C-alpha cells in the first residue's frame, strides 16, 4: 500500500513562491549539487508522482529538455531523466492529454481516484502542488511532508498549504542539514487514513 508524500522547497516562513511566476525556482532557493543529489535519490525511490496542473506544467516545461542539455550539471540532467521516466498522474479539470509517462484524472471524484491509487500502489507516491496537497490533507490522505527548508524569510507569496479548518499534528521522522544551510525535514501526518 502506498503513501502520499508532499515534497516541496519552502522558505522559513513556509512560502513556496515569493513572487507569482517564479515557477518553483526563485532566486532565494539554495539548490546546489549536494541538495540536488538528495532530490535525485529521493525521486528515484518514488513509485509514482501525482501533480496538480500548475506544478506539472512547470516540470513539463523544463525537465524533459534538461536531460539532454549538456550545459547543465550532471545532477540536473539526471533529475530530468528521473522525472520524465517516473509514472505520473496529472490531476486536472482542463487538460485531456499529457506526455512523459503521464495519465490524467479529474472530475468530481478525483480525490476518490487518488485514494484508490494510494491503496493500490506499493511505496511512496510524491505529491507536487499546494492546492492538491491541501485537498489530500483535508481528505486525510496525505501521509508525509518532505520539506527542503531554505534559510530565507520570504515575507510574502504562495504558502505551502491553503487554509485548513483545524490544526493538524505532525511527527518528525527524518532530518538532515546540508552544508549550504538548507534543512530537510520529513514529517508524518497524524490522523492520515490508513490504506
Mean pLDDT of 146-157: 95
**For 32-46, 76-90, 153-167, which range has the lowest pLDDT when averaged over its residues?**
153-167
DSSP string, 152-185: ----SS-BSS---SS---EEEEEEEE-TTS-EEE
Spell out the domain ranges in the chain. 2-189
Is residue 23's pLDDT more than 70? no
CA distance 2 to 143: 9
pLDDT band for 43, please (50, 70, 90 cuts): very high
Tens digits of per-residue pLDDT, 98-142?
999 999 999 889 999 999 999 999 999 999 999 999 999 999 999
pTM of the model: 0.94
Give the pLDDT score at 24: 61
Supply 130's cell numbers: 499546494
> Among 175, 155, 108, 165, which Cα is nearest to 134's?
165
Mean pLDDT of 71-87: 97
Is residue 21's pLDDT more than 80? no
Superfamily of domain 2-189: Dihydrofolate Reductase, subunit A (3.40.430.10)
Amino acid at each position: 500500500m502506498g503513501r502520499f508524500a508532499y515534497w516541496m522547497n519552502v522558505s522559513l516562513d513556509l512560502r513556496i513562491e515569493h513572487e507569482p511566476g517564479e515557477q518553483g525556482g526563485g532566486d532565494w532557493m539554495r539548490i546546489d549539487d549536494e541538495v540536488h543529489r538528495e532530490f535525485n535519490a529521493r525521486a528515484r525511490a518514488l513509485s509514482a508522482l501525482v501533480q496538480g496542473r500548475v506544478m506539472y506544467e512547470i516540470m513539463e516545461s523544463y525537465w524533459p529538455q534538461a536531460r539532454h542539455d549538456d550545459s547543465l550539471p550532471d545532477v540536473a540532467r539526471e533529475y530530468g531523466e528521473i522525472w520524465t521516466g517516473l509514472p505520473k498522474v496529472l490531476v486536472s479539470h482542463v487538460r485531456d492529454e499529457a506526455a512523459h509517462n503521464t495519465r490524467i484524472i479529474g472530475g468530481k471524484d478525483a480525490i476518490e481516484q487518488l485514494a484508490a491509487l494510494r491503496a493500490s500502489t506499493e511505496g511512496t507516491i510524491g505529491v507536487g502542488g499546494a492546492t492538491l496537497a491541501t485537498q489530500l490533507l483535508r481528505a486525510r490522505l496525505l501521509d508525509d511532508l518532505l520539506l527542503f527548508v531554505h534559510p530565507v524569510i520570504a515575507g510574502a507569496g504562495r504558502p505551502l498549504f491553503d487554509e485548513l479548518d483545524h490544526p493538524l499534528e505532525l511527527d518528525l521522522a527524518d532530518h538532515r542539514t546540508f552544508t549550504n544551510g538548507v534543512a530537510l525535514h520529513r514529517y508524518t501526518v497524524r490522523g492520515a487514513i490508513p490504506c
